[in-house]
């Protein structure tokens, strides 16, 4: 996505060429800083942010527009943890940016001020490409305040996201967008109820958002998308009044058009290369559209490496892609698009957000959220994820579904083809197709107090990728270790007699053939003794379960990775000469219904047939999210599964 | 302080070979996706302007053996720094049909380690293009080694199999080079010596090495992986005089000494004030040392800037005092300065942490150490003070330097090599006592954990870096037992003023733990099941196991028999010991209680593979004991 926006910046910049030049607002701090006395409720915090002030200012210089980004922060540190968190400061900057101003100082509770020597500021470039100015804060002691601000100048961007919460509580936060009056920005807050204030002062337009008393980011909650729930501000440019006061810029339609251009425009030479490539692989001879999609996907995912951190122009050229087989995300999508076009397969490019972070908001045209690629096949009404080597049609990376996507619907006017935007949900596959099942036969060797287990672990749908990836890409050593872990999960034993694997390959994924691990195991750990009685820990067959027995008050709604079902069938063979004294312990039931239909639940039961106890367990989560109001019910279900895991059957000798 | 090893990014794999070799290699290394076909590192040492000058050429070939290689194994890389400068580099893939495709996109970033805030080690990564079964990825590097004191050891093994690995060292005839073969098994290394017109050449070669498996509890691979250490002992200058370079410990001392010669000439008023405030009215030397050490531990935070010579030269104590932060050398600088000023004899001291297996007496080169501390002399006793560890009790060395040799600078002309003591197991004590009683199927009870020595240090670190609101969750690692239905009702933490001793208390509930059938109860009193699933991967594992310290641990569980009930079955006591370790388990019954006690001792800092079988033997005896429950029924 970055690419798309960069392109627009250069086009856009041209139309401001004649704008009047102006200068940025320099940041200042108090020459004589005053120590802040905080309310006692903050005493137990390691550190408190007193001020978090951000300003994004658009400035015209010569024929270009730049951003001066200012960040000013004051933090009071209270203990060793606070000191060690804030005595090393990392200030994010961007590629090719110039630091305009940077200052930092320490104020001790006794009023001593120590300012940073700018010579001690170093540059740091991380492997993911992020660049920082870093320095250590001098003279910090308990109770001190760290204050710093910096302004850097960079090429302008027209979509901005400010995450407002951090690991410390914050007393006062603000974001200000300052721009020449002709530029009209729209601004939206998420997870926070604040309204931007828009004022015009001379030639400058100010949008200001104030937030007070922000809490620290909640941590440690299970089944939660923390990042998605952080208070944040997003802004985008919507009108350039010098061009038009009615024509909106950076709309979803504009993005769809751009996407269409980037991913489907090819040169004659590229077309020829693709035609030869398609021919060599005989894909057009395949019968159905689905066969073609599936075969192309399997071939490309096996032989090409899409890399998120590759961003050269070369990596987008189809001739080079076919030669090098290492390419960028844009390159791989271009490759699929060209192949499908050559094969005459109808498709739409789709961009999505990520449910664990940010999802597309139909009413706020914030392009940066549309950052993940899908290809939609309208005839089959199914999706494919071109950049993910571990998924196969129709399975996509689960967090990209279950939320809105931007569908680029092509339309042809005369001989000109373009695309228009359709924002609609990307549905995930039905809950019944993603399973994590267990089928087990358990018998007891009473002379050695060992359970002999024949167990099948079955995983399909959205559950399958980690298993298939491990057995496709892992070394022999890693595969062995993984099998050992899997077996241990359901038996608490490392004593494996034999194992058999099915459908470890990706080629079987399209048909949703489940990954199956079948193991024969001796588990001495499952049998305990008390005098002449045997305790068989039958519940351990379903493996350790997440528990929520002791939880702090819930802050975030419940999020499930994907709808799924866990069905376990356990046959327990009662050893000769014994009887089970507590079979009814096996019956547990906690099911939640909405409008008469189950949305989540755990239910276990049994029947006895001869000397076999047939145990049946169904656990299911049919939705991807549940409101916080259903938290107690959800917790009960999670804990019921954890309770089942602790069930032990008591066996007594028949006299 | 750090000696950067040139390393190759091990998580990224690649392979290549000649087609006739592929099947053979697949058989030799089953299940592998890539092998290092060749790894040749050639050092060339010259003497220019009377000083040694070192360059190396590195040639690496990876053979890809799997069709799945493309997406996953093509990424490769190398690191470099101001001491090991890259002069030239080149990478390309040779496809099975012999096409050469060059790598054009290299990305360089700062290599970040957890402990160092800033240094100048860089990492360059790239993707080998056009990988398929049988393609070969080649990387060529030329490196200038700016300081010939800092030549890195050469390791033969990698995370993927190595077919051919070779180190050559070419040097002038009138130079003396010393080498040492290190690691568990050096028998596979062949060494040859060749002499040419003006040069001598050492060649070290290994063929067909299995991939090296990493275990999380293993020490640094310097302890076991086969490697070569080589260094310049001496050489001749233009006048034909022999110049000692790293011929013995004296030369290393001369070098180390040069790093501290220009610091701490004067004490400024700020530092003097701190010293005065700490030692005012204190006459006892030990008391002064305790106070100064404690002040540095509490007030000077560990922040390491280690670019170039910053990695070797300590900063001035006055600067450190004013900044309130420093790295290990800085801590040594300020401690030594403050202590001497206060009248406690203190010395700059260099030391290798336990990450390094080398001894000054055997390897007198810069690779022997990676750390600096301060040593004081109280009477006849030497005490080692490490300012980087804020939780270390005075008088105990941090556990990471136990049993290591320390190079103590007595004065400009004199040094001593002292060995840091190993703290006895009687000093590191952990006693965990649980009292439980029945309330229907729920166990209710209390836990008290008493700690001494290094256990306290670890606890204090956890307490310091945990927010108050998360403390209960964080301390669960100490208290959790029985099942994940364990819930803490209350906790209390002992006084933290004594760094050597502390106590944790908790009350808890454990629902559904007891089994109740009719009038009978079954309770498994092995709430912790220590060492379950900790059998060593024997005989496969070749790397040793590292323990932080020696210890004594005792676990006592007291069960109050409910009124009206009697014990109908009590498991038997058992003890088992061999020369490696063992356990003592006792079940005792009194009128109203059942008491179970486990005791374990650890006598090892390093457990070598020859001891693994006996280690596992103890577990064979111990683990079945965990299957036994106590049963009770109505009187």
Q: What is the pLDDT of residue B365?
A: 93
Q: What is the pLDDT of residue B74?
A: 86
Which one has a higher pLDDT value, B518 or B137?
B137
Tell the burial category of A23 from Cβ atoms under 10 Å away from its Cβ (0-12, 13-18, 19+).
exposed
Name chain A contacts of B568, Cβ cutoff 8 Å.
531
Could you tell me what percent of chain B has a pLDDT over 70? Answer: 96
Which of A326, A542, A578, A643 to substitute to test the interface with B, most B CBs within 10 Å?
A326
The angle formed by the CA atoms of residues A149, A153 and A154, to the nearest 5 degrees, is 130
Rounded to 10 deg, the angle between the A476-491 and A465-473 helix axes is 140
B305–A315 C-beta distance less than 8 A: no
Name chain A contacts of B77, Cβ cutoff 8 Å.
none
Which of A87, A134, A143, A305 to substitute to test the interface with B, most B CBs within 10 Å?
A305
Q: What is the pLDDT of residue A551?
A: 67
Q: Tell me the per-residue pLDDT of A242-263, one tens digit each, with 9 for 90 and over.
A: 999 999 999 999 999 999 999 9
Q: What is the pLDDT of residue B519?
A: 87
Picking from A173, A179, A172, the residue whose alpha carbon sits closest to that of residue A198 is A179
Name chain A contacts of B299, Cβ cutoff 8 Å.
141
Stretch A142-150: mean pLDDT: 97
Q: What is the pLDDT of residue B6?
A: 38
Q: Is-contact B131 B63, C-beta < 8 A?
A: no
Q: Is-contact B486 B480, C-beta < 8 A?
A: yes
B93: nearest CA partner in chain A = A324
Name chain A contacts of B325, Cβ cutoff 8 Å.
87, 136, 138, 140
A127–B109 C-beta distance less than 8 A: yes
Name chain A contacts of B125, Cβ cutoff 8 Å.
127
Tell the burial category of A612 from Cβ atoms under 10 Å away from its Cβ (0-12, 13-18, 19+).
middle
What are the phi and psi torsion angles at A638 (to 5°)? -60, -45
**Could you say which of B101, B105, B487 has the minimum Cβ distance to residue A312?**
B105
| Secondary structure element (H or E) that encloses residue A297, with its range | helix A289-303
User: How far, in Å, CA of B136 to CA of B100, rounded?
Assistant: 9
User: How far, in Å, CA of A2 to CA of A12, rounded?
Assistant: 15
Tell me the HSE value of A116 on the side-chain side, using a 13 A CA sphere: 24
Residue spans of beta strands (DSSP E) within B157-261? 162-172, 176-182, 190-195, 199-209, 227-236, 242-244
Residue ranges of alpha helices (H) inside B144-283 are 249-260, 269-279
B466–A81 C-beta distance less than 8 A: yes
B533–A488 C-beta distance less than 8 A: yes
Count of all residues that appear for chain B in the document = 635
B540: nearest CA partner in chain A = A477
User: Residue A14: pLDDT above 60?
Assistant: no
Q: Tell me the per-residue pLDDT of A463-488, one tens digit each, with 9 for 90 and over.
A: 999 999 999 888 888 899 999 999 99
Give the gap in angstroms from C-alpha B343 to the nearest C-alpha of chain A. Answer: 26
Q: Roughly how many angstroms between the first and final C-alpha of chain A, as a whole number?
A: 75
A138–B322 C-beta distance less than 8 A: yes
A127–B323 C-beta distance less than 8 A: no
User: How far, in Å, CA of B360 to CA of B349, rounded?
Assistant: 12
Which of A110, A324, A548, A582 to substitute to test the interface with B, most B CBs within 10 Å?
A324
**How many Cβ pairs closer than 8 A exist between chain A and B?**
182
B101–A323 C-beta distance less than 8 A: yes
**Could you say which of B70, B466, B532 has the minimum Cβ distance to residue A305?**
B70
ipTM of this complex: 0.90
User: How far, in Å, CA of A279 to CA of B14, rounded?
Assistant: 30
Name chain B contacts of A303, Cβ cutoff 8 Å.
70, 132
What strand order describes the sheet that includes A649-653?
A: A527-530, A533-536, A649-653, A578-580
**Could you say which of B33, B112, B128 has the minimum Cβ distance to residue A126?**
B112
Q: Is-contact B198 B204, C-beta < 8 A?
A: no
Which of B71, B75, B513, B522 to substitute to test the interface with A, most A CBs within 10 Å?
B71
Stretch A436-455: mean pLDDT: 96
User: Residue A107: pLDDT above 70?
Assistant: yes
Q: Tell me the per-residue pLDDT of A260-272, one tens digit each, with 9 for 90 and over.
A: 999 999 999 999 9
Which of B106, B484, B523 to substitute to test the interface with A, most A CBs within 10 Å?
B484
Q: Tell me the per-residue pLDDT of A383-407, one tens digit each, with 9 for 90 and over.
A: 999 999 999 999 999 999 999 999 9
Name chain B contacts of A306, Cβ cutoff 8 Å.
71
Q: Tell me the per-residue pLDDT of B580-612, one tens digit each, with 9 for 90 and over.
A: 999 999 999 999 999 999 999 999 999 999 999
Name chain A contacts of B535, Cβ cutoff 8 Å.
494
A138–B325 C-beta distance less than 8 A: yes
Give the gap in angstroms from C-alpha B129 to the nearest C-alpha of chain A. Answer: 5
């Amino acid at each position: 996505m970055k690419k798309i926006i960069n392109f627009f910046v250069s086009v856009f910049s041209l139309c401001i060429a004649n704008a009047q030049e102006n200068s940025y607002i320099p940041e200042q701090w108090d020459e004589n800083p005053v120590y802040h006395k905080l309310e006692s409720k903050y005493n137990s915090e390691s550190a408190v942010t007193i001020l978090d002030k951000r300003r994004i200012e658009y400035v015209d210089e010569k024929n270009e527009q730049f951003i001066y980004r200012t960040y000013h922060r004051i933090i009071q540190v209270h203990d060793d943890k606070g000191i060690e968190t804030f005595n090393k400061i990392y200030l994010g900057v961007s590629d090719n940016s110039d630091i305009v101003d940077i200052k930092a100082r320490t104020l001790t509770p006794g009023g001593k001020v120590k300012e940073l020597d700018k010579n001690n500021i170093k540059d740091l470039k991380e492997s993911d490409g992020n660049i920082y100015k870093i320095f250590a804060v001098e003279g910090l002691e308990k109770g001190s305040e760290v204050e710093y601000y910096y302004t850097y100048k960079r090429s302008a961007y027209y979509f901005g996201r400010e995450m407002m919460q951090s690991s410390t509580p914050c007393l006062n936060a603000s974001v200000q967008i300052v721009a020449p009056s002709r530029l009209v920005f729209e601004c939206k807050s998420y997870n926070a109820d604040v309204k931007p204030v828009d004022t015009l002062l001379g030639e400058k337009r100010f949008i200001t958002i104030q937030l007070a008393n922000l809490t620290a980011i909640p941590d440690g909650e299970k089944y939660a998308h923390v990042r998605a729930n952080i208070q944040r501000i997003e802004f985008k440019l919507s009108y350039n009044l010098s061009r038009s006061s009615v024509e909106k810029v950076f709309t979803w339609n504009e993005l769809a058009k751009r996407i269409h251009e980037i991913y489907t425009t090819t040169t004659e030479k590229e077309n020829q290369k693709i035609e030869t490539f398609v021919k060599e692989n005989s894909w057009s001879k395949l019968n159905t559209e689905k066969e073609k999609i599936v075969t192309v996907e399997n071939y490309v995912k096996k032989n090409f490496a899409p890399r998120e951190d590759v961003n050269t122009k070369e990596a987008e050229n189809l001739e080079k892609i076919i030669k090098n087989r290492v390419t960028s995300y844009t390159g791989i999508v271009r490759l699929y698009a060209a192949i499908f076009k050559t094969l005459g397969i109808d498709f739409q490019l789709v961009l999505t957000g990520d449910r664990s972070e940010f999802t597309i908001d139909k009413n706020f045209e914030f392009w940066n959220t549309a950052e993940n690629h899908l290809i939609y096949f309208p005839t089959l009404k199914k999706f494919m994820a071109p950049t993910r080597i571990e998924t196969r049609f129709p399975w996509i990376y689960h967090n990209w579904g279950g939320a809105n996507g931007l569908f680029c619907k092509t339309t042809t006017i005369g001989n000109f083809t373009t695309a228009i935007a359709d924002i609609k949900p990307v549905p995930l596959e039905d809950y019944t197709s993603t399973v994590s099942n267990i089928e087990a036969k358990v018998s007891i060797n009473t002379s050695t107090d060992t359970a002999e287990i024949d167990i099948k672990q079955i995983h399909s749908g959205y559950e399958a990728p980690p298993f298939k990836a491990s057995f496709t890409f892992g070394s022999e050593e890693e595969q062995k270790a993984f099998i050992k872990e899997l077996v241990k999960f359901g038996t608490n034993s490392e004593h494996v007699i034999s194992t058999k694997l099915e459908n470890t390959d990706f080629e079987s994924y399209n048909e949703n053939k489940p990954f199956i691990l079948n193991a024969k195991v001796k588990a001495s750990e499952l049998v305990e003794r008390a005098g002449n009685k045997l305790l068989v820990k039958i519940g351990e067959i379903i493996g350790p379960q997440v528990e929520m027995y002791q939880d702090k008050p819930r802050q975030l709604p419940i999020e499930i990775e994907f709808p799924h079902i866990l069905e376990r069938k356990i046959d327990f063979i009662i050893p000769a000469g014994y009887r089970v004294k507590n079979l009814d312990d096996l019956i547990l039931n906690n099911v939640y219904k909405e409008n008469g239909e189950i949305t989540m639940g755990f239910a276990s039961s049994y029947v006895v047939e001869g000397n076999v106890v047939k145990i049946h367990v169904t656990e299911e989560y049919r939705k991807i999210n549940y409101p916080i109001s259903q938290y107690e019910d959800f917790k009960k279900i999670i804990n019921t599964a954890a309770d089942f895991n602790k069930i032990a059957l008591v066996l007594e000798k028949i006299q | 302080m750090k000696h950067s090893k040139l390393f190759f990014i091990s998580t990224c794999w690649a392979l290549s070979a000649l087609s006739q070799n592929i099947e053979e290699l697949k058989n030799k290394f089953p299940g592998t996706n890539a092998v290092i076909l060749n790894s040749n590192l050639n050092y060339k040492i010259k003497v220019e302007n009377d000083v040694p000058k070192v360059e190396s050429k590195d040639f690496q070939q990876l053979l890809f053996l799997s069709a799945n290689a493309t997406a996953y194994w093509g990424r490769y890389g190398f690191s470099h720094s101001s001491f090991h400068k890259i002069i030239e580099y080149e990478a390309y893939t040779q496809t099975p049909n012999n096409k050469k495709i060059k790598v054009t996109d290299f990305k360089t970033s700062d290599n970040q380690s957890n402990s160092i805030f800033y240094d100048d080690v860089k990492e360059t990564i790239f993707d080998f293009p056009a990988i398929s079964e049988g393609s070969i990825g080649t990387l060529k590097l030329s490196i200038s080694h700016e300081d010939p004191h800092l030549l890195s050891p050469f390791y033969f093994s990698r995370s993927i199999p190595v077919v051919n690995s070779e180190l050559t060292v070419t040097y002038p005839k009138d130079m003396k080079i010393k080498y040492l073969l290190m690691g568990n098994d050096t028998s596979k290394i062949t060494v040859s010596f060749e002499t040419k017109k003006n040069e001598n050449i050492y060649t070290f070669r290994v063929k067909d090495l299995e991939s090296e498996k990493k275990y999380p509890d293993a020490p640094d691979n310097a302890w076991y992986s086969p490697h070569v250490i080589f260094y310049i002992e001496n050489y001749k200058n233009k006048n034909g005089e022999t110049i000692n370079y790293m011929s013995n410990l004296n030369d290393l001392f001369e070098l180390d000494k040069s790093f501290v010669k220009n610091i701490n000439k004067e004490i400024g008023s700020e530092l003097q004030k701190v010293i005065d405030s700490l030692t005012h009215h204190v006459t006892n030397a030990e008391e002064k040392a305790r106070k100064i050490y404690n002040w540095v531990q509490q007030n000077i935070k560990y922040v390491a800037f280690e670019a170039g010579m910053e990695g070797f030269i300590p900063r001035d104590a006055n600067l450190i005092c004013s900044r309130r932060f420093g790295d290990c050398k800085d801590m040594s600088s300020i401690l030594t300065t403050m202590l001497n000023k206060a009248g406690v004899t203190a010395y700059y001291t260099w030391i290798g942490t336990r990450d390094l297996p080398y001894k000054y007496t055997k390897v007198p080169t810069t690779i022997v150490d990676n750390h600096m501390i301060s040593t004081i002399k109280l009477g006849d006793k030497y005490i080692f003070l490490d300012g980087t560890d804020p939780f270390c009790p005075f008088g105990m060395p941090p556990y990471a330097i136990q049993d290591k040799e320390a190079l103590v600078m007595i004065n400009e002309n004199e040094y001593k090599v002292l060995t840091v003591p190993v703290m006895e197991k009687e000093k590191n004590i952990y006693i965990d006592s649980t009292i439980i009683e029945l309330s229907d199927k729920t166990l209710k009870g209390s836990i008290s954990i008493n700690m001494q020595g290094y256990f306290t240090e670890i606890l204090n670190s956890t307490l310091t870096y945990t927010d108050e609101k998360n403390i209960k969750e964080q301390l669960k690692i100490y208290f959790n037992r029985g099942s994940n239905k364990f819930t803490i009702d209350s906790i209390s933490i002992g006084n933290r003023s004594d760094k050597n001793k502390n106590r944790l208390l908790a009350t808890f509930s454990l629902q559904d733990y007891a089994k109740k059938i009719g009038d009978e109860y079954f309770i498994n009193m092995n709430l912790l099941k220590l060492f379950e699933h900790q059998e060593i991967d024997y005989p496969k594992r070749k790397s040793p196991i590292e323990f932080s310290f020696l210890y004594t641990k005792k676990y006592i569980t007291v069960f109050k028999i409910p009124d009206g009930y009697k014990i109908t079955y009590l498991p038997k006591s058992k003890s088992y010991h061999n020369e490696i370790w063992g356990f003592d388990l006792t079940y005792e019954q009194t009128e109203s209680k059942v008491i179970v006690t486990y005791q374990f001792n650890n006598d090892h800092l390093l457990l070598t593979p020859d001891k693994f079988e006996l280690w596992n033997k103890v577990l064979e005896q111990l683990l079945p004991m965990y299957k036994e429950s106590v049963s009770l029924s109505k009187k």
